[in-house]
Copies of this chain bind each other. A is one copy, B any other.
Amino acid sequence: MTPHYLEDFAVGQTFGSGRLRVEPGQIARFAADFDPQPFHLDDAAARGTIFQGLAASGWHTAALTMRLLVEGGLKPAGGIVGAGGELNWPRPVRPGDELHLESEVLEVRPSKSRPEQGMIKVRTTTLNQADEPVQVLVANLVVLRRAAAATAEKESGR
């Protein structure tokens, strides 16, 4: 698929993704490496906690969302390079959940100081198999401009 340059993005565009199943063993493995708390490691231990059963670390949900984004339809030129953003986890991801994304472009703006690039603001909602949101990420992404790509091609052709 052709990458999308800054000029190809417009407010209101939407992009989808494939689907990814969260295997039960994956949740505890990610947690052992990065978020070793009882409610992410063991179902029995999670029963008496705020999660009332095994739940994926929010950072695991974020990482799985990134996997779907990289393989999804957004495809910004230069790759998916985030400068930062806002993140919310309205409900937990459970073992066996199947995730997919809905992304919408909220802003498109050229950089004033760097003519070869710009930023887009994208809201990406991660949904489970019941279409309930499990994460909402509003991220600012650095995207190359088509003009910059044309210049680079010209230079490399010299």
Residues of A within 8 Å of B, CB-based: how many? Answer: 34
Residue contact A35 to B86, C-beta cutoff 8 Å = no
With CB as the reference atom, state the residue of chain B lying closest to A67.
B34
Please tell me how many copies of the chain the complex holds.
2
Main secondary structure of the interface of A (DSSP, over half): mixed
> How many angstroms between the C-alpha atoms of A63 and B59 in the bound complex?
6
Q: Which of B39, B60, B62, B80 contacts A37 (CB 8 A)?
A: B80
Q: Which of B79, B83, B85 contacts A49 (CB 8 A)?
A: B79
Is A87 in the interface zone, CB < 8 Å from B? Answer: yes
- A residues contacting B by CB (< 8 A) are 30, 33-39, 49-51, 57-60, 62-64, 66-67, 70, 78-89, 142
